Amino acid sequence: MTRRIGHDAVLRSLDTALSIPELRSVKLNAVIVKGLNDHEVLDFVDLTKDKDISVRFIEFMPFTGNKWDKRKMVPSSELLSIVEEQHPLVMKAPDGLNDTARSYIIPGYKGSFGFISSMSDHFCGSCNRLRLTADGQIKVCLFDAKEISLRDQMRQGASDADLLRTIGLAVGAKQEKHNGMEDIDVTTNRPMILIGG
């Protein structure tokens, strides 16, 4: 899928992370794309059987360079139905106040799985995420092309108080929700690989 070798290395890295007691949680994000990897949903869920891992299914979202097509997006409700068909005892797990993923567990399984439903079931009202890009830009929402440069302010000698004020203004301007997800201008918003986590 990534056009690179390394599947075995990724699985070894997950096992290494799981063996480190200081790590409170290990999460594996999977973007599900219809016709590409939607047939692997149950395989991902099976990873949670013997591993204390959180698999999070992320809906395919519009970004520059990812060949966005609404028809390739699989709603989380559809993915949950696939899991429930195979595992009818699946239960909703409690979520934290600002969790972006809605989590589920299967009785007897060590891990959990969840859904980040950015397209079909927005969670904007409870999202408290900020992203700082590698080039020093603050993004308050993945779907908003607007960015504020902390890097430039720091290079101009901004104090910590100045930076906190800028961050506060950015957060204060965060929209309550995004409308028209299918109409998002993907040409002005940088690709996810340049945004980072």
Q: What would the pLDDT profile of 103-127 be if each residue is shown by its tens digit?
A: 999 999 999 999 987 767 766 667 7
Q: What is the mean pLDDT of the chain?
A: 84
Cβ atoms 181, 119 nearer than 8 A: yes
Query: Tell me, what's the pLDDT at 74?
Result: 87
Listed residues 64, 88, 121: the one ending a domain: 121
- Which whole number is the average pLDDT over 51-69? 79
Listed residues 69, 91, 121: the one ending a domain: 121
18 part of a folded domain? yes
Query: Tell me, what's the pLDDT at 183?
Result: 57
pTM: predicted TM-score of the whole model, two decimal places: 0.75
1 part of a folded domain? no
Statement to judge: residues 105 and 16 lie in one domain:
yes
Query: Tell me, what's the pLDDT at 180?
Result: 56
Q: What is the 3-state secondary structure (H, E, C) of the chain?
A: CCCCCCHHHHHHHHHHHHCCCCCCCCEEEEEEECCCCHHHHHHHHHHHHHCCCEEEEEECCCCCCCCCCHHHECCHHHHHHHHHHHCCCCEECCCCCCCCCEEEECCCCCCEEEEECCCCCCCHHHCCCCEECCCCEEECCCCCCCCEEHHHHHHCCCCHHHHHHHHHHHHHCCCCCCCCHHHCCCCCCCCHHHHCC
Statement to judge: residues 134 and 114 lie in one domain:
no
Statement to judge: residues 16 and 100 lie in one domain:
yes
Statement to judge: residues 47 and 72 lie in one domain:
yes
- Which whole number is the average pLDDT over 50-59? 93
43 part of a folded domain? yes
Query: Tell me, what's the pLDDT at 83?
Result: 97
Domains in the chain, number: 2
Statement to judge: residues 130 and 114 lie in one domain:
no
Position 68 pLDDT exceeds 80 = no
pLDDT in tens, 31-43: 898 988 899 999 9
State how far the Cα of 80 lies from the Cα of 115, in Å rounded to an integer.
8
Domain holding 52, by residue range, is 7-121
Least-confidence region, from 82-91, 95-104, 173-182: 173-182
Query: Tell me, what's the pLDDT at 65?
Result: 63
Q: How many CB atoms lie within 10 A of CB 17?
A: 15
And the tokens for 7?
A: 């599947």
Query: Tell me, what's the pLDDT at 104?
Result: 97
Statement to judge: residues 115 and 133 lie in one domain:
no
Query: Tell me, what's the pLDDT at 189?
Result: 66
Least-confidence region, from 53-62, 91-100, 157-166, 172-181: 172-181
Listed residues 64, 95, 121: the one ending a domain: 121
